[in-house]
Structure 1
Amino acid sequence: MESPKANPKSSRELSRLAALLRYDILDSPNEDAFDDFTHLAAQICGTPIALISLVDAQRQWFKSRFGLDVSQTPREISFCTHTIEGQGLFEINDAQQDPRFQHNPLVTGAPNIRFYAGTPLTTPDAYNIGTLCVIDSRPRQLDAIQRDALERLGRQLMRLFEERLHAQRYAEQAAMQQALLNSAASAMLVTTTDGLISAVNPTAERLFGYSEAMLLDHPLTSALFPQEALARRAAILSDALGETVTPGFAVLTAPLFKGRREVREWHLRHRNGTSIPVLVSISAIHDEYELLRGYIVSAHDLAHQEHLQLRLQQIAAQVPGMLFQLCWHANGQTSFPYVSEGIEAIYGLSTADLESSIGPIYARVYPDDRAQVLASIRQAASTLTPWHFEHRIEHPRKGLIWVEARATPLRQADGSVLWHGLVTDITERKAEQLELDKQQEMNRRLLEALSEAVVACDAKGNLTLFNNTARLWHNLDAQQLAPGDWAEYYHLYHADGTTPLRPEEVPLMRALRGERIRNVEMTIVVNGHTRYVLANADPMLASDGQQNGAVVVLHDITERKNIEKMQREFVSTVSHELRTPLTSITASLGLICGQVMGEVPGHLQELLDIAHQNSKHLSALIDDLLDIDKLNAGKMRFKLELQPLQPLLEQARRNNQGYANSYTVTIKLGVCPPILVRVDGMRLVQVLSNLLSNAAKFSPPGESVDLFAERVTENRVRISVRDRGPGIADSFRDRIFSRFAQADSSDTRPQGGTGLGLAISKELTEHMGGQIGFDSTPGAGACFWIELPCQSGSLPR
């Protein structure tokens, strides 16, 4: 039968477990002192097994074991649990015959216990924490002498536990005392009762220049104290105490015997012969029995303190303002333990003016600020919170100045409040702040007056600026939204007015990611009304170069869009109405000028040639207008096919050589890599014809135009048209691909043209997945280029 298990939740059991843990012995290594007890118990009782068993909440653990290999067993099957629950020795003569243990696995199996006798290990506060027990595998019974010996061994074992605990505590205290001694900022010297040095801390070694080994076992006073100073002090003490004090160690200890603990300044000797000012105090060391064991002498370095004070004064002299300590006493009086020389610059006073109170400073405070200053100080003193206040001072030389005062209050033991603070002159900063406030107010008014919408955010995407125009256009104000919600909340759409902008397409979001956005068209659709806007956005950078936000400016182009729409409709209508009759006129004039209808009189031939040329120019203009109309309406069809680039370049050269001949210009076809491009061949030739005709038209007579291609990346090819004309003027660069753009817009410009060719070329190139651009230096020609996707190889035959 298993032994009953104590309720671990009971108050008595919890206290017993606490007593066990107090000895800090569970799971500790083997110790010979404990093994001696188990060997002796086995010999006295004549058993093969003896154990020192400690019982915790779940198990019995063996601190020492003789004749047994296992180190612990579960508590619920342990014999020792019965021992600790009773009083005195617990003995089982034959476990197989005892109904409490006959089915116990320790009886039915190894170690086959038949006999058990255990005496409890009882703490001084009467808790049984374990047992000293003996075990045999055959039935037996202890005699009276063995029982008495086992109990005596148990009591001795408990005394060993107590000694072990006291030794641990003593070692911990000694280690802590040594650590305190070593870390003390003052020099500490430990002496015997007769004044011989027994220990020295590192601070003392550094202060006096001696190592500990050099001072050990030497008399303290003869090693460090000047003899003449000891003699003078001995005479004074002899008179004061009414007894003779010898000029040695007794000078330091005599006041202690009279119940007085002195702290006195001495000049002690350094190893190098110099004198060190120190503040010396001495304390007696008593043991637990109140016996005097020695003394500890503390020496605080006054030279270091003087050095620190001088350093503080030097630092205070560099501080722009006044450093101070103000003591506000419980009775309402004030005093200044410390004031730096900066008091003159702040208040026009000297430290002597503040010997009695804060009154002279208070008198310098501007009358309108005095009540607030005093109230704020009292509030900070009552709550012991840091004080910070800006106010005005009437300086006797500088006039009215602004100061910033900061101080931290600390409650003292006597109920007073000690303030540590700084007062600085902020007159210049106040003036700058006033000017900055004016500038910010002006900027705010300008932003609110702008006809453009301006929106800004910080680095985390929080909207920080939403001017009046932005509020009107969106019919909303700035809200604390995640950037991913901007497009939906503020009704942002693509330029078509129907496709919502994705979060990553919002110009402000792109600028927040570091992009610079220029002239991106988009729409704001509110309550069915579509507003067309042009967005320009930039990252905002701090002075250190770190991005701290972004800003977007939106220009309303709704009216321009409406005008463009009207223009397109007008041009489309007029172009279609003019095309048919103009085609007939051009054809008729061609027949007449070609004398198909008969010979033309000489005096009419020149007029008819002029009319024929102008009709052809007008037809080209209408063709360009119709192309633009188709592109705007999305009606121009593109048949993209994968085809070699070389034949397309050759066709473009052939188509335009005749036009170039009229300007006595030659088109030269240069290198072209063997690559394929996916394009509409007719549209690509149209783009190249525009570039070649422009190059021929602006080239000097007798010059040549170069047409060539080169790969710029693995999957991109650049087709270039280079001329040797006057180049592109700086004033024309930004609008060269705009519709109806002409470098020379006068009626007498030497070269004709509609101003639509490059705009159409840009649209066609982009529809084929490419891009168009140019490089030019005024006076040194121009090189127009288009880049297209490409791939290596040739078409299968």
Structure 2
Amino acid sequence: MKINPKPENEIERLKALKEYSIMDSLPEKEYDSITQLASYICGTPIALVSLIDERRQWSKSSVGLGVAETTRDLSFCQYAIMGEDVYEVNNALENELFAKNPLVTGNPNIRFYAGAPLKDANGFNLGSLCVIDTESRILTNEQKTALKLLADQVVLLLDSRKKNADLLKSQKEFQNFIELSKDLGCIANVDGFFYKVNSAFTDVLRYTKKELEGKPFIDFLHPDDLDKTLKEVEKLSKGEKTISFENRYRCKNGEYILLSWNASPDPDTGNLYCIGRDITKEKEAELNLINSNKLLDESQSIAKIGSWKFDLITNDLIWSKGHYQIFDFEELPSDQLFNAYRNRIHPDDLLNLDKVLENTLTTGADLHYNHRILFPDGSSKYVVGIGKPHKNGKGEVVGIQGTIQDITDKTLAEQKIQEKAKEINDIKSALDESAIVAITDQKGIFSYVNENFCAVSKYSKEELIGQDQQIISTGYNSIEFRRDVFVTIANGNIWKGEVMNKAKDGSYYWESATIVPFLNEKGKPYQYVAISSNITKQKLAQENLNNALANLEKKNKELDQYAYIVSHDLKAPLRAINNLSEWIVEDMPEMPDAVSANFELLRGRIQRMENLINGVLEYSRIGRTEIEKETTDLKKMLNQIIDFVVPIEGFEISIADNMPIIETEKILLQQVFSNLISNSVKYNDKPIGKIECLYESLPDFHQFTVKDNGPGIAEEYHKKVFEVFQTIEARDKKESTGIGLSIVKKIIEEKGGSISIESENDNGTSFVFTLPK
């Protein structure tokens, strides 16, 4: 099969195709109508308007085929654009060019093809209007003629589309030109109404467009200028143009300005297209200039311009006031001015100035110079000057006259720009040093990669530039992921995220990337800059951490199961011993008191052992079991605990009214309060035990206090009581496992809080703990 036949004018043809800006454009019903008609006339199920660029065939419109494009080497249309007439393949299976073509041997099973070239006005075949069938056939002459005529209509549509785009561009440029113009622009009617005004019009007159458009322009005219203005409008209504016509307009603040108008009528619409210029100041300057040079001096001062004249015959040097201001001189006699002037020129610039002046005196050429002015305080200015020599009848230079301008601000600004340019280059260099940088065009083709990109991808720059960025793509990044990235940046938005890429050697690496679209004047991306960092190590570390967490969770589950089995196995013999002791007591109701007391002590020790096992199991589970939070009314919860834990008689209980309702793991908080309150009950040594539950809201924490009037806890035990299996009193005196407060402390600290004791011997105890809000 012959690959990619190309017309002799291929380069010019591709350029012509590009000028239409048609490739990858959205569907348009005008083209769809033509393909429908072509399919109907030729009796084929498939019809296409195909355009061929350097590497693909793309369909602007198609009937009966869902594929938008194919590679050029597989297309039939690449042969259609080689000639002038309809290119026809009656049976592709019998045609040596196409018999093995995948489009013939597979879907869509092409057997018949006929394509009329789309020839533009310059003779370039841009593509073809083609019809396709899955059965072999022959077109009639009438069908071929119709196909060619429809192809001509496609070209007309392309030309019309291009002209419309050019027109819209021109209109936009014209509109921008008018809106950005400093001159006043308006469209008026000969009937005396403003139709449109530009921004300069509103800026100068201080009216809004709403206040001007649709209003009679005579409403804004100075009464004395009304007659002459109407005469000019009458001339314009007859088709004449107005040049430099002047009248006065009233501004919104009541003042009048003088405008000079150029106007041209449109005979078809009757509209007047007018450009006005505010010449108020010019007129004032003209009048003042007649009477004095004051305005000139002021203008030179504002513009930092001075003028000078040097007579070579008399050696007289004359400066304007502006020139003196630039050099910061008081006015001097001519014989003193020359020396003072030279003394103020920077020494490094004086020699070059003398050379330029000598050249003008010798050759009569215009004088162009620049130098620095050095002031006594060490400051300086930059100036530029021009001069025109005056010659006598013999052609000898007898004098020079010119101007000088202070360009210090401009020079310093240029220096600043150069510094900024260097700064930008330094930033770019720093970015190249620290980041992975790549630039692609709107089609994803690499136009720039830095050394870091090459290092991580293991491709050379030569291997990457001009290649599609898909060269580093992996199957890990799903189609949906890639589509999301493309849609984001194609819409002009910045995309940030993590992406896995594939290096040249087949290894994979991760990047944290930011892709920034650069937009053209139409707001469409023309290139994308991707700045990335290599996060492969972090991703591997995260993966290892996830594996470790999974293993830890597995171990925790195994530990829970182990703890349950152990506690069950430990409790079984305890229950048997307890049952046996109860049976013995039942069988020997008259046993001695000492023996009975021993059995009671035995059952107490069994109960303590079971409580200890339960406490250890409970302690081990804290922080390893996820408990769902729920809305908890703490006052209600405390009342329930007190009903269960505190005896009815011998105790006074107080719960603060400001106890909050919070989101918390209710069962854990119940456990904390139950342990603290039960300790207050268990160790209270007063005839009437008092227990208070208090609350205080801190900026970031809830603070709770369980306070009692018991025996207190000495300071040396304040930390010890929170240790596992630690008790202050002997277990024979007070039955305790020594694990309750350990559980309390672990629960609170696991939730990010803290617990402390405020107590002295025989002076009550306060357990104060906090929980994050």
The TM-score range, normalised by the shorter chain, is 0.3 to 0.5
Q: Which structure has the greater CA radius of gyration?
A: 1
TM-score (norm 1): 0.41
TM-score (norm 2): 0.42
